[in-house]
Structure 1
Amino acid sequence: MKNKHTALHVQAAEWIVKLTADDPDERAQARAALAQLTLENTQQAEATARLERFINLAERVSASAPSSAEPAQAGQQPAIVANTLRQYLHLHQQSRSLAKIRKPLMLWLLMLLPAWGLMQTAPLAVLFADVRTTAGVYDNQQLKDGSQIRLNPSTALNVHFTASQREIELLAGEVYLDVAKDKQRPFVIHTRQGQIQALGTRFIVRVTPDDTLLTMLESRTQVTPGWPTLKTLAAPQVVSAGQMVRFSADKLSNLPDIHAGMTESAFKQHRLVVQNTPLSEVLETLQQHRPGVILYDAKAMKQILVTAVLPLDDTDRALDLLCENFTSLTVSQYSRFFVTVNIQH
């Protein structure tokens, strides 16, 4: 049985090398070959299924890597994993002492996957931010002007206060702001997709790599999507209490209105309230609230809409609740730092 399991790891490594090839045609051929293998090996269905789950996991790690826009920050980790596996195969071909090879391979994977996850969620700008929280850690602070700010886990921001301006640069995560009044100094939040100028007091801002989500709890803000340096700013839009908007650098979308009091209470109690929200966004939020990596097929999960109240301070329980409501979901927890979510067909 030991030799059988070791052979399975060797086979998995070989498939991962093929599926992480630079040539997209090679990757497509590998995927087709794997599908054929699954059909032909009906007598070894369990072993083949385990192998495919392992390969799908590695393939999603590679596919979810950032674009070449930030190669030094995160794009190197999948390549390191693939290169490690290639080295492993080379060692295997030179030596048949499989028992000595299996342990280093698994140790490398356990070390590299958390590192890849860290680089995904914490590029250098985030690591050196003025204020930062890590996964599972909440923080409340009072700024110099008296404004109150609550940071959810995996949040990072820079604070720039001058005699004429109050500016927050939100780099990652989600914040609740209760802005102190100061008519002489506007309060502006900058994200990668635009800016929000406070015209009142309380609101929540969340940033993702693709867009910014603004939830107004009291009074108003003025949202201006776009990049000022590229002069692509769209027309400003005023957002009032009870409204939610999502904006990117070139567009702004109005979302269904919310109950401001309930939303504020849920935020302070570390609860996630979602209504017809893609499961991919829910899992992305849960990822920010726990250490390690949650791996999932974002494209497939985007088709599932979730309406629920989930505990953000107990993400294991949140995942259990999702599985209870969507019986097609399966969650596999390999360690506290490594979880996969899949859809059963």
Structure 2
Amino acid sequence: MLSLGKEPPLPADVLEEAAEWLMRLSETDLSASERAEWERWKVSSPERARAWARAQLLQSTLGGLPPSLAMSTLDRPSNPQRRAALGKLALLLAVMPVGWGSWKLTQSQQWTADHRTRVGERRELTLADGSRVTLNTDTAIDVLFDSQQRLLHLREGEILVQTAADTARPFLVSTREGRLQALGTRFTVRELNERTHLAVLEGAVKVVLAENDQRPPLIVNAGQRIDFSTQHWGALSPTDRNVGAWTQGMLMADNMRLADFVAELTRYRRGFVRYDPAIADLRISGAFPIADTQRTLNMLVQTYPVLASGHLNGYWVTLSPA
């Protein structure tokens, strides 16, 4: 669920209206009647006033629209590219003011990385030493191999690593929270809310915390998983048997709360999926395709007492009790 401070979330239709006005103002000069309509719209409800305040904040922060959203040549409202741009703009407005900063950081992290995937994309790489790395959705990594070491830096997202043998050079994965050394192994690493999640499928991984390197390293063995921050370990627990299901294009749910299911699904989908708190604890089980998130939502509605309503050309979906 998304919110701005302690304010209630703005309705999707209001965000779309604000995005439309912001786009129109950036594209062309309004006529006198259009400007009067815009002025009336801004003060017609508290929600619209809040939405326009966010639009002004976005404009002042950027000095205009992001280049990818500046669609001055697409002046037909029915143009699909323009509709997609409106959806993206509405999403930025939904999470202002913090949303733009995180969006810009994510874009910078992604586009300067050695290898990256877009939202909903998966990619498998074979590295120079024969090791294989699979990148999950919205992931960015750097690769640094030299005579001393083989190093992957995980900037964002999630990877599955299958290391190749090399007795002369250790295989390392670094994250913001620490450094992992593969001990002949297969494992997944995920950056998650200022924590690193490690799950070891084969072999073992040695972990050193980024800001507490005086503590002895922790060895995580096959069948174990752990979360850790820059200074603290979480508890070791058994590896989820479905931890690598995403490499096969599936999201596996086993008695999962709907709130947690939505959090996972939105990793693979552009836009927002919100839910009524009344169904947050509904338990979900099954195998769901991550390459077609709309199909997954349809399966959810067909199987469970849930309704789905779409807005912003599919960018915003709300789940409610049936």
TM-score normalized with structure 2 length: 0.66
Question: Any residues of structure 2 matched to 1:255-294 within 5 Å, and which?
Answer: 255-259=237-241, 264=244, 266-290=245-269, 292-294=270-272
1:181 counterpart residue number: 165
SS in 2 for 1:252: coil
Secondary structure in 2 matching 1:253: coil
- Residue type at the aligned position of 2:217: P
Which residue is 2:50 aligned to? none
8 Å contact from structure 2 (residues 13, 311) kept in 1? no
Per the alignment, do residues 97 and 258 of structure 1 end up closer, same or farther by CA in structure 2, a change over 3 Å counting?
closer
The CA distance in 1 between the partners of 2:261 and 2:240, in whole Å, is 17
Q: Find the counterpart in structure 2 of residue 160 from structure 1.
A: 144
Say whether residues 1:247 and 2:225 are aligned partners: no
Structure 1 unpaired stretches of 5+: 1-18, 35-50, 59-79
Equivalent residues of 1:224, 1:233 under 8 A apart:
no
Match of 2:305 among 327, 334, 337: 327
Paired position in structure 2 for 1:222 = 206
- 8 A contact 1:234–1:251 mirrored in 2: no
1:316 counterpart residue number = 294
TM-score (norm 1): 0.62
Identity of aligned residues (%): 26
Q: Is the 8 A contact 1:323 1:331 kept in 2?
A: no
Paired positions, count: 269
Q: Which residue of 1 aligns with 2:317?
A: 340
Deviation at residue 173 of structure 1 after TM alignment? 1.7
Structure 1 counterpart of 2:274: 296
Contact preservation (8 Å) 1:197, 1:221: yes
State how far apart, in whole Å, the 2-side matches of 1:278 and 1:121 are. Answer: 30
1:184–1:304 CA distance, 2 compared to 1 (3 A): farther
SS at match of 1:123: helix
CA distance in 1, matches of 2:276, 2:166: 42
Aligned residue identity for 2:227: R
Give the Cα separation in 2 of the matches to 1:192 and 1:299: 33
1: distance between equivalents of 2:222 and 2:35? Answer: 67
Q: Does 2:207 match 1:207?
A: no
Tell me: higher relative CO, structure 1 or 2? Use CA pairs within 8 A at least 6 residues apart. 2
Between the aligned partners of 1:104 and 1:112, the Cα distance in structure 2 is 17
Contact 1:319–1:331, Cα closer than 8 Å, also in 2: no
Q: Secondary structure at the match of 1:146?
A: coil
Structure 1 340/176 Cα, relative in aligned 2: closer, same or farther at 3 Å?
Answer: same
Q: CA deviation at 1:161?
A: 1.4
Compared CA separation, residues 94 and 137, structure 1 to 2 (3 A): closer
Deviation track 1:120-176 (CA, whole Å, cap 9, x = no partner) reads 683312211001111232221111111011112211101111211111111112211
Residues 156-201 of structure 1, C-alpha deviations (whole Å, 9 max, x = no match): 1011112111111111122111101222211111112222211122
Q: Could you tell me which amino acid in structure 1 is paired with residue 268 of structure 2?
A: H
Maintained 8 Å contact 2:161/2:187 = yes
- CA RMSD of superposed structures (Å): 4.4
